[in-house]
Amino acid sequence: MDIKTALLENAAKVEQALPAYLETPDPALETLYDAMRYSALGGGKRIRAFLVMEFCRLFGGTEEAALPFACAMECVHASSLIHDDMPCMDNDDYRRGKLTNHKVYGDNIALLAGDALITKGYEIAASNPAVSWASALAGAKTILRYAGGEGMMGGQEIDLLAEKKAPDFPLLLKMHAKKTGALIRASAMLGCHAAGIVNENDSRIADASVYAAGIGLAFQIIDDILDVEGDAAVLGKATHADAKEGKTTFLSFMDVPAARRYAQVETDKAIAAIGEYPGSATLIELARYLLARDH
C-alpha cells in the first residue's frame, strides 16, 4: 500500500469515529457544536492521527487503542487552526479550501469552538476505554503539555511577538518546534502510549520524538516554500500570506534550494531515528512524502 492510500484509509477511519465525540449534547448548544464539527470534520490529511496510529502499530499496539487518541489529537489540532486563523492571530479567510471558522460563525463563536475542541481532546484522551489507566493518564498529560504554554501556545506567543521584532534564526527554530512541532511530537508519543509505553525515558519514546521533530521541522520548511511557490487552488488557502503579514520564515534566512536541502537533512534525521525498527517502512515513506508534498 502506498503512503497516499494509507493516509486516505486512516483519514476515513478517523472521519468515521470522530463525529461520535462531537454530537450536540443539548439543543441549546447546537451553534457551538456545529462550529466545532465544521472545523474538526473539515477533512485534511490527518497527519497527526496517522502518526498516533502508526507508532501504536510499530510498537505492537492495537488500532482500537490508538483511535481515541487519534481523535483527541484531531480535536486539538482543529482547535489550533480555528484560533490561528482568527483576526487577532493570522487573520486568514480560507482553510482547506473553505471559509475559516470565524468567517462563518463570527469571532465569538469561533473562539468558543476552539476552546471547546481543545478541552474535548483532553477529555477523549483521558477517557480512552481501550488502554490502561496509566496509558490514558500519560496520553492526557502529553496533550496538555505539548498543546499548552511549553508547546503549541508558547510557540504562538513567540510568533505574535515576532510581528514586532523579527526573530533570529535560533528563535525561529524554537518557535516552530513549539507552534507546529509540538503537536506532531505529541501525536507520535500518543501512539507509544496507546501501545502501553508510558515511561518518558523509554528509548522508543525518545526515538519517536526525534522522528517527529525532524518531520515537523521539514513540514514547516515546506510550508514556507509553498507559501511562495505553491498553487493557491491546490493548497486551499492564499499564497504569499507570510510576506503580506511581514512574517519571518525560513526564506528570510535562505533561498528556496537551501531551504529544501535543510528540509532534506531534517527528514534524514527523522528516518534514521526509527529506521532500524521492524515495520517502520510506512513511517519512512511518510517522511519522504511530507518532504515532497505540494499542499
Angle between helices 3-17 and 47-58 (to 10 degrees): 100
Give percent above pLDDT 90 in the chain.
83
244 confidence band (pLDDT: 50, 70, 90): low
The predicted-structure confidence for 198-214, as pLDDT tens digits, reads as follows 998 999 999 999 999 99
Alpha carbon distance 111, 108 (integer Å): 5
239 confidence band (pLDDT: 50, 70, 90): low
52 sits in which H/E element: helix 47-58
- Identity of the residue numbered 116: A
Q: What pTM was estimated for this model as a whole?
A: 0.92
The predicted-structure confidence for 97-136, as pLDDT tens digits, reads as follows 899 999 999 999 999 999 999 999 999 999 999 999 999 9
User: How high is the pLDDT of residue 230?
Assistant: 55
Of 30-39, 194-203, 226-235, where does mean pLDDT reach its minimum? 226-235
DSSP assignment of 96-143 equals TTEE-HHHHH-HHHHHHHHHHHHHHHHHHHHT-TTS-HHHHHHHHHHH
User: How high is the pLDDT of residue 279?
Assistant: 96
Is it the case that residue 186 has pLDDT exceeding 90? yes
Q: How far apart are the first and last CA of the chain?
A: 21
The predicted-structure confidence for 142-162, as pLDDT tens digits, reads as follows 999 999 999 999 999 998 888
User: How high is the pLDDT of residue 43?
Assistant: 79
Alpha carbon distance 17, 26 (integer Å): 20
Phi, psi angle pair for 129, to nearest 5°: -80, -10
Indicate the length of the chain as a whole number: 295
Across the chain, mean pLDDT equals 93
User: How high is the pLDDT of residue 294?
Assistant: 81
Is it the case that residue 232 has pLDDT exceeding 80? no
User: How high is the pLDDT of residue 183?
Assistant: 96
- Identity of the residue numbered 124: I
Hey, where are the domains in the chain? 3-292
Is it the case that residue 25 has pLDDT exceeding 90? yes
Is it the case that residue 242 has pLDDT exceeding 70? no
Angle between helices 169-179 and 203-229 (to 10 degrees): 110
Q: Are 214 and 267 in contact (CB under 8 A)?
A: yes
Domain 3-292 is in which class? Answer: mainly alpha
3-state SS track over 229-279: HCCHHHHCCCCCHHHHHCCCCHHHCCCHHHHHHHHHHHHHHHHHHHCCCCC
User: How high is the pLDDT of residue 45?
Assistant: 87
